[in-house]
Chains A and B, each alone.
Chain A
């Protein structure tokens, strides 16, 4: 167990990490048009300051021994009743630290990039407000010291995601995509809620320390339940099967959003959750296995979808799914894989952000056209973008020495350590990665220009390219830096533990096989899309392509199984409410009205009828008396 240190020194600023962007968001969102001018800069500034603080904290943390790197700050009691008590408390440990760094640094870059990308948007101020809100929520997610507070960040990033996806909400598709993202995420949130509840019922607390501290006493069934529920949560946030359908639609949002939220940070929250909950998964093998299965499935789904999409962002989104699938399966492997899941998460955060921003840069130059079939030969028109994008591509494909190579190779290795089949599957997926990334790069930058009329591709302004360059540098060196200089394995070990197993084949062989397969895939992509003419209208393709273009029928399945039945039920209940429940109410009113109308004729106005009823009454009264006496 790690020792929990009080948050002193720079760590006393923990709350500020969250509060700064939150304040930024509040100012930007509530201040009105007055702040239009300087608002975006404020947005950048807050995140930048966060990044500075984060780096400062990192330095401070490295000054401590590896067992004294957990800092906790308790602000106040948040919810409490009976034996339930949750604090507004933050905790920074090594795992959080890397996330804080990722979020603040990549966040800063993307904020800067957005200054250019969104420069013409009238609602720019709001955009930065949302971005700041996102950063704040994401930081809360990773800094929370208990699951419930984590949940706040968890939904907070979902909210920011919703807001940013539907940022251009005048487009119905964007609005719909935002809603869809939120609702599907909510399904995952149900999982998280329930997991928290099970934890509370089991352990009497939802704090990380308390839960993990007594994991050993809980039954495996309970832990499996918690694990599966957490997995459900992770599926929602990280777009894992079967809750993957929202991510592709989420590309309706502005590209920086896709980069920050739907590639680098938010979607990896699921991985964070699983990794953070490692004591639970370690004790619940079935849940861990499920995590692996989900990861594998999503890894392939994402890859296949990414291979078929002509929309550059959606293709990248498919790739994101696939890469997160890697991370998830790695996390599912247990102590063997946690570190590498996080490792890959970090490298992926950087190179995928770069790729997305690159794609954004391309779109910027192509009048926001996202169809790669109308790209081609852009390498000359936008050289910086081209260069950084290619670096990113190489990185994600796992070509040495780019960052992706190190992290992905670690995962493949870990997979083999755990289970040969999973290992083989990861290699195959890597090959597909090679294919679709090459396809993307080829369609965009190589081949003939297939531009639409009136499009004049041009390089993006500095404010956009500089972040690209920085991210490209990161894509290149970060893997090595983290692995060798940063020593990520030992860094994270106190939190997640680490375990090494021997595998049957030597490392170099595995690496080679992987590389060969990736290159084969890349070659196939090159041949298909750089050498050959790319038709402007997509050919029909085989069944897999068609299915992939339909997101592997994810929406169709959701519609058939969930959405449509819901609407039918809703319509039925509306009818039922009006006709039956309200019908009963109004019916009983009508009944008495009708009864009244039916009885009125007996008040006939004839004295003799009245006398008759009086005689009847007298008889009734007498009979009643007699009957009572008799009974």
Chain B
């Protein structure tokens, strides 16, 4: 049964769907939405099937492997396969896409002068993006990965530029150019890798000879820059606030919720295993930048008046945690970072979607100062907003806590002081998240907000899966951890890192014994 090309099918369904949607008549926007939504659900169903078929205890970390020659001249293969990390992120995308479609049902429909694209175009682009995202997470060929990595920019570019707000052209351009900065340097590094290893196939690269450390350091930078920009890591972040502020909430969700994960995913998948020596060499710098990012993002978020920018900066802070978790080279850290990616995807979705609902009720204003006391007229909206906020601040019991704590613990395990300092970030996170909630939702009802409608059934329906997943995985993250941990162990082996042992007493084996 494994011969069935699950991943290819998975990628082709949304692609075909986007063509169908794009070919629908312009006069029937509703049909386009329905079709797009249906297709996204089909993809989700397929992903569920794939996830169920995935064998977490299997010895081979990559499953559903398909390898075909693509460009033999360059040693490029069309090679797909997922490990736990990839699977989890594909699942995240598959969940967020229908949610986004549903939540953004009317986002591009209103007679807004600013938007220039057609309704069906937006949904077609979302589906194209889904293909790219699946591809990027499933690629087991560096070249193929790069192709998806770069091609992914285009649908997003259009989603921001055609359907965004006031500054959309600027933001789209900034997004694209920034991404290309990383992408092109990565291209250079990728070429270097090819020169050194003579192949692009992931498995072949890994089984190939070790790259000498000097070359590693050079190539690592190319890859890392691309991922750092995508992630975004301080100080390569300034595209994100602009992009988030200019895009529709749905776009922002996909952009920050999934797309940016490609950056951190890339670090785990490519930077660490291929360039272990370089990763080790640069880790201190990266860790410092990550910690700076955590606090920088949080403090800037504290001073923002624009909701979308604020969330963008908060994401930047969160990405600081993720990157931190990756580069401490502990199983806990990397597993935590992966969980954090999922958690962040969900919490970002919740935040942006609720904020989007809110903004839609007030002519799209994203200024925090335009809102107050929303809780009174729209308690459900406020409730979801609060939930999103809590998810963002990593409340224990929610999946974001699992990720954050594991990241911090993993960090602490390796670098006590860094872990200690990073932990302080949770206070500032609480400060800015609650500040937003307090300012917008509580207090006297702001003028113009007295009669806003509470969430409709459709809007709630879009949020419920996110909330449910957030809570479920918060209390029972095992489904994710079960598949992620073996993959992380593989990464750890490849990077040649070992987990620090407890300083006294119980060794890892006995502790497990004690807890059984």
A residues with a Cβ closer than 8 A to B are 29, 32, 76-85, 87-88, 123, 126, 148, 151-152, 154-156, 159, 162, 166, 169-172, 174-176, 178-179, 182-183, 186-187, 189-190, 193-194, 196-198, 200-205, 207, 209-210, 213-214, 217-219, 222, 566-567, 569-571, 573-574, 577, 581-582, 585, 589
With CB as the reference atom, state the residue of chain B lying closest to A137: B397
Q: Nearest Cβ in chain A — how far from B203, in angstroms?
A: 24
A81 and B335: CB pair below 8 A? Answer: yes
Chain B: interface residue total (CB-CB under 8 A): 81
Supposing A148-B405, A204-B501, A204-B505 touch, asked if A175 and B438 sit within 8 A by C-beta, the answer is yes
Complex contact A582–B426 (CB within 8 A)? no
Flag if A200 contacts B431 (CB, 8 Å): no
Give Cα distance in the complex from A248 to B464, angstroms: 36
**Contacting residues, chain B, for A154 (C-beta < 8 A):** 396
Cβ-closest chain A residue relative to B387 = A29
Check if B303 sits within 8 Å of A175, measured CB to CB. Answer: no
B424 contacts A190, C-beta separation under 8 Å: yes
Q: How far is A77 from B516 in the complex, measured between Cα atoms in Å? A: 9
Which of B238, B331, B401 makes the CB contact (< 8 A) with A84?
B331
Within the complex, the shortest CB–CB distance from A99 to chain B, in Å, comes to: 19
B216: CB under 8 A from chain A? no
Residue numbers in B under 8 Å from A78 (CB-CB): 475-478
Q: Give me 27 A-to-B residue pairs in the complex whose CB atoms sit less than 8 angstroms apart, sorted by A's number.
A: A29-B383, A76-B478, A78-B475, A79-B406, A79-B477, A81-B332, A82-B488, A82-B489, A82-B492, A88-B475, A156-B395, A156-B396, A159-B395, A162-B434, A201-B412, A201-B413, A201-B500, A203-B504, A204-B505, A204-B506, A205-B506, A217-B505, A218-B503, A566-B302, A566-B428, A570-B299, A585-B178
A197-B443 CB under 8 A given contacts A76-B476, A205-B511, A569-B299: no
**Most B-side CB within 10 Å, residue of A81, A214, A569, A585:** A81
Cα A202 to Cα B239 with chains together (Å) = 42
Chain A residues near B405: list those with CB within 8 A.
79, 148, 193
List the B side residues contacting A200 at CB < 8 Å: 409, 412-413, 502
Q: Give the residues from 492 to 508 in chain B that come closer than 8 angstroms, CB to CB, to chain A.
A: 492, 499-508
**In the assembled complex, B441 has its CB within 8 A of some CB on chain A:** yes
Q: Is the beta-carbon distance between A186 and B426 smaller than 8 angstroms?
A: yes
CB distance from A431 to the nearest CB of B (A): 37
Residue of A nearest to B474 (CB): A152
Q: Which of B49-57, B278-286, B415-423 contacts A (4 or more CB under 8 A)?
A: B415-423
Chain B residue with Cβ nearest A187:
B427
Residues on B with C-beta less than 8 A from A159 are 390, 395
Q: For B412, what are the chain A residues with a Cβ–Cβ distance below 8 Å?
A: 194, 197-198, 200-201
Shortest Cβ distance from B13 into chain A, in angstroms?
33
How many angstroms between the C-alpha atoms of A85 and B331 in the bound complex?
Answer: 11
- B514 near A82 with CB under 8 A, answer no
Nearest CB of A to B242, in Å = 8
Instruction: Report B102 CB to chain A, min CB distance, Å.
Output: 19
Distance, CA A500 to CA B424, complexed state (A)? 40
State A159–B431 Cα separation when bound (angstroms).
Answer: 14
CA distance A77 to B515 in the complex (A): 10
Q: Is there contact, CB below 8 Å, between B423 and A194? A: yes
Find out whether the CB atom of A570 lies under 8 angstroms from the CB atom of B515. no
What residue of chain B has the Cβ atom nearest to residue A79's Cβ? B402
Q: How far is the CA of A409 from the CA of B347 in the complex (A)?
A: 50
> Is B444 on the interface with A (CB-CB < 8 A)?
yes
With A176-B438, A193-B405, A197-B412 already in contact, 14 other A-B pairs whose C-beta atoms are closer than 8 Å: A76-B476, A84-B331, A88-B476, A155-B397, A179-B434, A189-B426, A200-B409, A200-B502, A202-B503, A205-B506, A566-B302, A566-B431, A567-B303, A585-B174
The CA-CA distance from A59 to B440 in the complex, in Å, is 50
- Contact of B35 with A by CB under 8 A: no
Given A170-B376, A170-B442, A573-B296, decide whether A217 and B332 contact each other with a Cβ distance below 8 A.
Answer: no
Whole-angstrom CA separation of A80 from B435 in the bound complex: 33
Q: Which of A170, A171, A174, A197 contacts B419 (CB 8 A)?
A: A197
Contacts of B408 in A (CB 8 A): 193, 197
Q: Which residues of B contact A (CB under 8 A)?
A: 174, 177-178, 235, 237-239, 296, 299-300, 302-304, 330-332, 334-336, 373, 375-376, 379-380, 383, 390, 395-397, 401-402, 405-406, 408-410, 412-413, 416, 419-420, 423-424, 426-428, 430-431, 434-435, 437-438, 441-445, 475-478, 481, 484-485, 488-489, 492, 499-508, 511-512, 514-515
Q: Are A170 and B488 in contact (CB under 8 A)?
A: no
Residues of chain B contacted by A187 (CB below 8 angstroms)? 427
Q: Which A-chain residue is minimally distant from B498 (CB atoms)?
A: A82
Residue of A nearest to B376 (CB): A170
Docked complex Cα distance between A137 and B141 (Å): 47
- B303 lies within 8 A of A570 (CB): yes
Considering the chains assembled together, what is the distance between the CA atoms of A175 and B178 in angstroms? 40
Write out the residue numbers on chain B whose beta carbons fall within 8 Å of the beta carbon of A574: 300, 303-304
List B contacts of A126 (CB < 8 A). Answer: 379
Q: Which residues of A contact B508 (CB under 8 A)?
A: 82-83, 204
- Contact of A170 with B506 at beta-carbon distance under 8 Å, contacts A76-B476, A201-B500, A577-B238 already known: no
Q: Hey, which chain B residues are within 8 Å of A217, CB to CB?
A: 504-505
With both chains docked as a complex, state the minimum distance between the C-beta of A211 and any C-beta of chain B, in angstroms.
9
Bound together, the chains give a CA A41 to CA B131 distance in angstroms of: 50
* B406 proximity list for chain A (CB < 8 A): 79, 81, 84
Q: How far is A207 from B485 in the complex, measured between Cα atoms in Å?
A: 21
Q: Which residue of B lies closest to A179 (CB)?
A: B434
In the complex formed, the residue of B with least CB distance to A82 is B331
CB distance from A592 to the nearest CB of B (A): 11
Contacts of A205 in B (CB 8 A): 502, 506, 511, 514-515
Q: Are A169 and B441 in contact (CB under 8 A)?
A: yes
A contact residues around B434 at 8 Å (CB): 162, 179, 182-183
Nearest chain-B residue to A571 (Cβ)? B303
A197 touches B430 (CB 8 A): no
Chain A: minimal CB distance from B46 (Å): 28
Q: How far is the CA of A179 from the CA of B427 in the complex (A)?
A: 12
Q: How many whole Å from A226's CB to the nearest CB in chain B?
A: 12
The distance in angstroms between the C-alpha atoms of A80 and B376, with both chains bound, is 42
Bound-complex Cα distance A193 to B426 (A):
10
* Complex contact A169–B442 (CB within 8 A): yes
B158 to chain A: closest CB distance in Å?
21
B444 touches A172 (CB 8 A): yes
Closest Cβ–Cβ distance, residue A428 to chain B (whole Å) = 35
Q: Are B481 and A81 in contact (CB under 8 A)?
A: yes
Task: Flag if A570 contacts B300 (CB, 8 Å).
Answer: yes
Q: When the two chains form their complex, are residues B488 and A179 in contact, meaning their CB atoms are under 8 A apart?
A: no
A79, A85, A88, A581: most-surrounded residue (chain B CB, <10 A): A79
Provide the residues of chain A in CB contact with B296, threshold 8 Å.
Answer: 573, 577
- Contact partner of B503 (CB less than 8 A), chosen from A171, A183, A201, is A201
CA distance A332 to B215 in the complex (A): 58
A573 touches B303 (CB 8 A): yes
Closest chain A residue, CB of each to CB of B471: A26
Query: Measured between alpha carbons, how far is A585 from B232 in the docked complex, in Å?
Result: 14
* Residues in A whose Cβ lies below 8 Å from that of B302: 566-567, 570
Q: How far is the CB of A133 from chain B (nearest CB, A)?
A: 10
In this complex, what residue of B is CB-closest to A150? B396
Kindly report which residue of chain A lies nearest to residue B414, judged by CB atoms.
Answer: A201
Complex: chain B residue closest to A181, CB-CB = B434
Measured CB to CB, the closest approach of chain A to B357, in angstroms, equals 17
Interface centre among A82, A217, A573 (most CB of B within 10 A): A82
Tell me the minimal C-beta distance from B58 to chain A in angstroms: 18
Alpha-carbon distance between A205 and B445 when the two chains are bound, in angstroms:
49
The answer on a CB contact under 8 Å between A80 and B505 is no
B105 vs chain A, min Cβ distance (A): 22
Known: A84-B331, A175-B438, A203-B502. A582 touches B238 (CB 8 A): yes
Would you give the shortest CB distance from A129 to chain B, in whole angstroms? 10
Q: Is the beta-carbon distance between B375 and A170 smaller than 8 angstroms?
A: yes
Partner of B331, one of A81, A214, A218: A81
B431: which A residues are within 8 A, CB to CB? 183, 566
The reply to whether B505 and A214 contact each other, CB–CB distance below 8 Å, is: yes
| Least CB separation from A577: chain B residue | B300
Please report the C-alpha to C-alpha distance between residue A207 and residue B412 in the assembled complex, in whole angstroms.
Answer: 18
